[in-house]
Amino acid sequence: MPSIAINKQVHDGFPKYDLFKNPVTNECPPESEYQMAGAVFWNFKMKDATELLNYGLKTQVFHSYSLSGYSFDGCFFDTKASYQYIKDPEIITYLKNNAIRGGPTESVTRKVIANSERLNNFNPFKPRSNILIIDENSQYPSKMKSKVAVRSYSFLSPDDLSKFDLMTDCNGEWNYIVTVQISHPEYLHVLQSPMPPCPYQRELKYADLSTTQQLYSTGLNGEDQASLFGKKLVADLYDKTYTCCLEAVQYFLESGLRVTNLSKCLKFRQAAILEPFVDKLSELRKKLFSRGMKLGAYYLKE
């Protein structure tokens, strides 16, 4: 597909060969691909490069199951990195049943009102207050630049498990996924109750809800309570058996949680295989923005 043709506003038919240059590799496609693009352009009776570009953007992603998968394929094509698929049924079952939970969400009904000189309804007789919103940028690329599991997956033997130190450095060549017992000390309950750590899947019943929650659930769902219950992702302060990465366990220990009874540990090699690709996309986005090519920059997000 043309890379800079759309930004040069080419409206006089099929773009010239040099406008198909890849901005990443700085190379033009083979002549056969250029001719194929021309055949698509004329057979579909397109008018300009914009129509050809839109056609490509709408159809090329069909080679992947999702847009994130398409980007992931692009990463490995560019970096030539590799990783080992997990084929051991025991490891797959362990991760599927224990380590995959989904993302927690929280509904907050508290209401706050700011009272500041910058507001029209400012009341000088009441205490001044402001509402602070923190927006954290670049969390995805920051995490993508971290080391990820790549190969050599194996469980520790019972002997090695008994000697394993939960404060082992996990920033080197090896990392670990562990199953431990988590306890929430009572003195932390008030501090952690707004957003308890360690969300996990468990069967939720109507009796588990507080009186207020039961009232809200009835009002929201009427007489149909079935969809509210069953296996749900729950954040609570009960003791639990928990499977997670070693970094999370170390954070829990630093936060005051009690971590005991290491029952299983999956060891694997790790590497920052996505970091070069993330850095390249960041640099390309900067260049495109500096040239006023915002559309192309938006498609280079991580």
Cβ-based burial of 119 (10 A; exposed 0-12, middle 13-18, buried ≥19):
exposed
Instruction: Find the mean pLDDT for residues 140-165.
Output: 91
**CA nearest neighbour of 160 among 152, 168, 171:** 168
**Helix, strand, or coil here: 96?**
helix
- Predicted confidence at residue 31, as pLDDT, reads 87
The three-point CA angle 196-199-202 to 5° equals 125
217 or 172, which is more confident: 172
**What is the 8-class DSSP label of residue 292?**
T
Instruction: Find the mean pLDDT for residues 278-302.
Output: 76
For 204, other C-beta atoms within 10 Å of its C-beta total 15
How far is it, in rounded angstroms, from Cα 21 to Cα 27? Answer: 5
Tell me the pLDDT band of 136, cut-offs 50, 70 and 90: confident
Whole-model pTM over 0.85: no
Instruction: Find the mean pLDDT for residues 251-273.
Output: 94
Does residue 210 carry a pLDDT above 50?
yes
**CA nearest neighbour of 284 among 264, 260, 302, 300:** 300
**Domain map of the chain by residue range?**
1-63, 89-199+235-271, 200-233
Does residue 249 carry a pLDDT above 90?
yes
Tokens 């190969």 — which residue? Answer: 151
- Predicted confidence at residue 154, as pLDDT, reads 95
Instruction: Find the mean pLDDT for residues 206-232.
Output: 71
Instruction: Find the mean pLDDT for residues 257-275.
Output: 94
Does residue 7 carry a pLDDT above 70?
no
- Predicted confidence at residue 30, as pLDDT, reads 87
Instruction: Find the mean pLDDT for residues 57-65.
Output: 65
Instruction: Find the mean pLDDT for residues 50-55.
Output: 78
Instruction: Find the mean pLDDT for residues 137-151.
Output: 86
- Do 188 and 256 touch, CB atoms closer than 8 A? yes
**Helix, strand, or coil here: 202?**
strand
Contacts of 280 (CB under 8 A, 6+ apart): 24, 78
